[in-house]
Amino acid sequence: MASQGIWSGTISFSLVAIPVRLVKAIDPGRVSFRLLHKKDYSPLARRMFCPEEETMVPPDEIIRGYEIGPDQYILMTDEELESVSPERSRTIEIIDFIDMKEVDPVYYDHPYYLVPSKGGEKAYRLLVEVMHRTKKAGLAKFVLAEREYLVAVTPRDGALALTTLHYSEEVLPDEDLPPQKGKIAAEEESRIRKTIEHMIEDFDPGKYADERRKKLMDLLATKAKDKAPVEAPVVEEEEEEGPADLVAALEESMRKVKPH
């Protein structure tokens, strides 16, 4: 992963500060299809497009606008956005350490990894190791683009994972859902319990991923018999992806529109 990261800054706890980058932990594209141009089989990329000028707009010509009326916007530069909470836009400050078991999974939103930047390797390793030993997670708030996130930082296989959490006002209470009334018949419960006990296995998520992949591969295998794969034209790498934060913001907005 040559990724420059979604964000870069510092993670701190008490008087220790570690330079880090935020990178993806999830890559949904690995067994999915790509959109191609029918004409030349070149992969398509998502770009911002100005409908008025009918041109592609590079990241440095893009600005965020808050709509106050039809076609009326309040413009916000990246600097102004960072300025809303300047203490949090480049620093993930761990406020408390917590026992991750106390966190109801309903709060979990999206996972990322943190990787150490130059000079931060040792303190990073230390934070991973001591959180692992004490079985604790760090709780912090930080700002990425226009959003402030409450996050939990946890050790995972020797790395720091960062999971964004929902704010409690976003979590809908479930107490008002009516549980079923009436007594549980003892025989029904024991039957259900027995069925479950017979079906206990070890958690093996790879199995389900393989099944999904196999279905796809079967389809592709029958296709490959009829026709050879097509080849996309070679394109020079694009020099620049644009400001990482903006790319992240775009990804974030894409994630939101994904049907759920």
Minimum distance, C-beta of residue 69 to other proteins, in the bound complex (Å): 10
Alpha-carbon gap, residue 224 to 218, rounded angstroms? 10
As beta bridge partners, residue 24 has 112
Cβ count within 10 A of residue 193:
10
| Using rule CB under 8 A, residue 251 touches other proteins | no
| Using rule CB under 8 A, residue 96 touches other proteins | yes
| Using rule CB under 8 A, residue 240 touches other proteins | no
Exactly one of 4, 7, 22, 119 binds other proteins (CB under 8 A); that residue is 119
| Using rule CB under 8 A, residue 70 touches other proteins | no
Give me the sign of the Cα torsion angle 77, 81, 83, 84: positive
| Using rule CB under 8 A, residue 215 touches other proteins | yes
Minimum distance, C-beta of residue 239 to other proteins, in the bound complex (Å): 13
Exactly one of 9, 22, 153, 164 binds other proteins (CB under 8 A); that residue is 9
As beta bridge partners, residue 153 has 138, 162
Alpha-carbon gap, residue 129 to 123, rounded angstroms? 10
Q: Are 11 and 18 in contact (CB under 8 A)?
A: yes
- Which CB, 4 or 48, lies closer to other proteins? 48
Judged by CB under 8 A, the number of residues near other proteins is 168
Minimum distance, C-beta of residue 240 to other proteins, in the bound complex (Å): 14
Q: Which residues contact residue 236 at a Cβ distance below 8 angstroms, ignoring those fewer than 6 apart?
A: none
Exactly one of 4, 85, 241, 251 binds other proteins (CB under 8 A); that residue is 85
Alpha-carbon gap, residue 119 to 113, rounded angstroms? 18
- Which CB, 199 or 239, lies closer to other proteins? 199
